[in-house]
Structures are given as structure tokens and as C-alpha cells.
Chain A
Amino acid sequence: AQSVTQLGSHVSVSEGALVLLRCNYSSSVPPYLFWYVQYPNQGLQLLLKYTTGATLVKGINGFEAEFKKSETSFHLTKPSAHMSDAAEYFCAVSDGRGGADGLTFGKGTHLIIQP
């Protein structure tokens, strides 16, 4: 079965610093990979996704992620953190095996921005 591991349930960075949120997946077929953001008491919003093609994917709010097949990783980065980036971030994978059409999510990483 596919799975997602997000390293670090909490990540704290200073405003203006680099944001790096780690995601590793397991899938026996080429995966489709997603990053979602969840603000308090809100639903999930898609930041970016990887399907095929270019391995560096740019998303909204200045975020980007790089698919590295050899490392089975899809880490999320942003060059300069902003206070408004404080939220929960979920990495997710879909490979459709078994007819499942939903996403398998990681446990999430809570991003804290220090002023």
C-alpha cells in the first residue's frame, strides 16, 4: 500500500528564513504527489502537485517542491518565510491502486513562524 511520511510534526523558522518541509513516500508505481495547506478551522487548500514531466513544481504563495524518484522524496520549500505561512501542511500521494480514488495523506507538519 502507498504511504507518506512527513519528518517533523512541528517545524519552526524565523520570518524571512528558508522553509523546508520534508515528505517521503512509498509507492510501487509512479506516484502523483501533492502538498496541501490547512489554516486553523479551515479545509485543505492545494499548494502544488506533481504528476509527470518537470520534477520541480511551483505552487501558490511562493512554494515549490521537487520530486526526486531516487530518494522517494517530495520536499516542500519556500525561500523566505512569511508570518502568514503559519499553518498545517500535508503531503499526499495517489497512485490509484485498488481503484482507490482518494488521497493518502501524511500526518502533517505544523509550521511555526517566529517573528
Chain B
Amino acid sequence: DAMVIQNPRYQVTQFGKPVTLSCSQTLNHNVMYWYQQKSSQAPKLLFHYYDKDFNNEADTPDNFQSRRPNTSFCFLDIRSPGLGDAAMYLCATSRDRLLAGVETQYFGPGTRLLVL
């Protein structure tokens, strides 16, 4: 089945130790998104890639970076995780930009990050 895969499902890191979360998709979608969802809160968009075009949300901290080496993979790098970065990180894809015909976003299961 075509899907959005996130690894690992649970990640424990130490305060200040860089961590990378990964997302892959078999849908061959052009757009990939990263959302941060803190406990009992709504998912918040961090950034997205339209093909190789990177689009950062204005209020996304510099501590968060992303890479998309090819269509299938997208990585979220947290350079120096703080306690406040503990959250569920959701990857999503869509065939095209939401602006163009309101494409559906398909979400992965998420990676829950714990910062010690």
C-alpha cells in the first residue's frame, strides 16, 4: 500500500544533542510537510517542501532544519533540542500544493520525541 512512513516512532534524545527524524513516502507526491504537535494541542506547520523548494513558516525556530534529498525522503533536524521541543512530529504529503485544487494531505503515524 502506498503510504507515509516515519521512523522511528519514538525517539529519545538528550538536551542539546542533535537529532534527526525521518519521513518517507511511496505516494510520489510533490509536497512534503512537517508539523509539530505538542501534548493536547493542534498540529502546527513548521515547513514544507514543494519538490525541492523549501518553505519555512515565519515562526519556526532556527533550531529546526529540514532536508529533502529526493522525492521520497524528507528529514527533520533539530540542532539543539530543548525540553520545549518534546512533541509528536508529523510528516504529511500532498500530490500538489493545497492552493491548486485543494489536494488532500496524507499523514504519517508521527514520531514522538522525548528530550531528557
Which residues of A are in contact with B by a Cβ distance under 8 Å?
4, 9, 32, 36, 41-46, 49, 51, 90, 94, 96, 99-108
A105 touches B43 (CB 8 A): yes
Contacts of B98 on A, CB cut-off 8 Å? 32, 94, 96, 101-103
List of 5 A-B pairs having minimum Cβ-Cβ separation, nearest first: A102-B45, A43-B107, A105-B42, A96-B99, A44-B107
Within 8 A of A (CB), among B1-43: 4, 6, 9, 31, 33, 35, 40-43
Q: Please give the distance in Å from B24's CB to the nearest CB on chain A.
A: 14
Which residues of A have CB within 8 Å of B42? 4, 90, 105-108
Q: How far is the CB of A68 from chain B (nearest CB, A)?
A: 19
Is B62 on the interface with A (CB-CB < 8 A)? no
The answer to whether B43 and A101 touch across the interface, beta carbons within 8 angstroms, is: no
Chain B, 79-116, CB within 8 A of any chain A CB: 90, 92, 94, 97-99, 101-102, 104-110, 112
